[in-house]
Amino acid sequence: MQKSKILKNLIVWAFICEFLCINGVNIFIFNGKAETNSVLKYEVGDWVNSIDISSDGQYFVVGSGENISLFNRTNITPLWNFNTQERVRSVSITPSGMYFTAGSDNGRIYLFDRSNSTPLWYYYGARFAEISSDGQKIVATGGYNNDVYYFNSTSNIPLWNYTLGDLSYSLAISSNGKYFVVGGWSWDKTVYFFEKNSSTPLWSYETGDVIYSVAISAEGKYLAAVSKDHNIYFFENTSNTPLWFYNTGKVVNDVSISSDGQFIAASSWFDNKIYLFNKSSPIPILIYKTGDGIRDISISSDGALIAAGSYDSKVYLFNTMNSKPLWTYPIGSGIGPLVISSEGNFIAVGGDSQVYLIPYTYQPPPNYNFIGAIIIVIIAITISVIFLYLLNYVVDKKLEVGKTS
């Protein structure tokens, strides 16, 4: 009876030791942290073609399939939907989230107020549109007549239009709507720079191939363009001679610029690289290669944060002080369009029937080493068995001594 009681106590102590060892795995391997995953997911029912977000990340608009959907980030259900009957090609929202435009393959652009799914107006003749920060000016292009249109938000009758040399799929407007830039496509390889009061470009610049993307600073003083000719071009608005250009050796497909024009971010889906420049030099301050081509790149208003979406199904977030990502986030089903909010606090990215809203504060889960954990558990159990065996041996010896004495 005495041995049995002693052994029971030893077994209890052995299990306590084993429990502490196994839980030590959590401290040692998992760093004592619970998985942090504050990424929000929203179902939209079809592949995401376009996306834009308000400056604080409170509202975002999505073009998926034929539908335009407006979300408040606090609700996974859209505030409302609008069906265009054709694929949605572009969306653009004001910083306040109060107004936004959308363009569709039905040849129409739409202006919406967030309070109502009925458009304030629409115009037939374009598929891509951008709206100024105050919601007062709209520029549109991408129609089959090759025209650029400039609107006041109060009317669907253009203030003026200008005929390009061919189709255009890229455009950007300054915050106050005074200036905008358009990139030519197909046979037209030209960057066009406009001022709101004239239907004739202030200047134009012919590149070596079609223009994939253009960007403009908040006041319209600086603009950037990227081309199939492998070049990133940077301009001041007073001249059609680039301040500089940089040849990547591969096609460059997207570009984004900070509000003051200080930082320019560009990306390529052919060399898988992200490029970051200071406006003063054509020498990149950052080059980072991802696992596959980059679909979209977007920079925060102050230029401090750069987000990129890669065909390796990951979102990358950088700051201008580091050459490596702050974090990466895996998208489970392919990468779609991506944009970072002006304030830099949220990244919205589309995928296959889903939108992910990723906060800047996102922390990737710890890198669990399950093999190491299993090894430690086996060691803990082995130690417990040996411990019990030795103590059982000691107890037997003590009992034998007690009997002989």
Confidence category of residue 332, pLDDT binned at 50, 70, 90: confident
pLDDT top residue among 337 and 380: 337
Residue type, 178: K
Residue type, 395: V
3-state secondary structure of 50: strand
Residue type, 353: S
Beta bridge partners of 379: none
Question: How far is 338 from 351, CA to CA, in rounded Å?
Answer: 9
CB 18 within 8 A of CB 378: no
pLDDT(272) > 90: yes
**Average confidence (pLDDT) over 173-184:** 97
Q: Token match 């939209």: residue?
A: 44
pLDDT(1) > 70: no
DSSP 1-21: -HHHHHHHHHHHHHHHHHHHH
Residue type, 23: N
3-state secondary structure of 266: strand
Nearest CA to 288 out of 323, 255, 315, 320 is that of: 323
pLDDT(251) > 90: yes
Q: What is the dihedral of CA 339, 341, 346, 352, to 10 degrees?
A: -20
Confidence category of residue 387, pLDDT binned at 50, 70, 90: low
* 233, two tokens: 């071009």
Question: How far is 272 from 268, CA to CA, in rounded Å?
Answer: 6
Confidence category of residue 349, pLDDT binned at 50, 70, 90: very high
Question: How far is 398 from 380, CA to CA, in rounded Å?
Answer: 27
Residue 213 to residues 53, 58, 224, 309: CA-CA distances in angstroms?
A: 19, 26, 8, 15
Confidence category of residue 55, pLDDT binned at 50, 70, 90: very high
* 394, two tokens: 């000691």
Q: Which residues contact 44 (CB under 8 A, 6 or more apart)?
A: 62, 64, 67, 69, 78, 350, 353, 354, 355
3-state secondary structure of 349: strand
- Residue 29 pLDDT: 29
Q: Tens of pLDDT along 188-245?
A: 999 999 999 999 999 999 999 999 999 999 999 999 999 999 999 999 999 999 999 9
Confidence category of residue 152, pLDDT binned at 50, 70, 90: very high
Confidence category of residue 11, pLDDT binned at 50, 70, 90: low
Question: How far is 132 from 179, CA to CA, in rounded Å?
Answer: 10
- Residue 334 pLDDT: 83
pLDDT top residue among 309 and 379: 309
DSSP 363-382: -PPP---HHHHHHHHHHHHH
CB 166 within 8 A of CB 184: yes
CB 31 within 8 A of CB 368: no
- Residue 392 pLDDT: 60
- Residue 287 pLDDT: 97
pLDDT(394) > 80: no
**Average confidence (pLDDT) over 394-404:** 55
Percent of the chain with pLDDT over 70: 81
Q: Average per-residue pLDDT in the chain? A: 87
CB 204 within 8 A of CB 163: no
pLDDT(33) > 50: no
How many CB atoms sit inside 10 A of residue 1's CB?
5
Confidence category of residue 22, pLDDT binned at 50, 70, 90: very low
Radius of gyration of the chain (CA): 29
Q: Tens of pLDDT along 95-128?
A: 999 999 999 999 999 999 999 999 999 999 999 9
pLDDT top residue among 318 and 395: 318
pLDDT top residue among 66 and 14: 66
Q: What is the dihedral of CA 42, 45, 49, 55, to 10 degrees?
A: -20
- Residue 405 pLDDT: 53
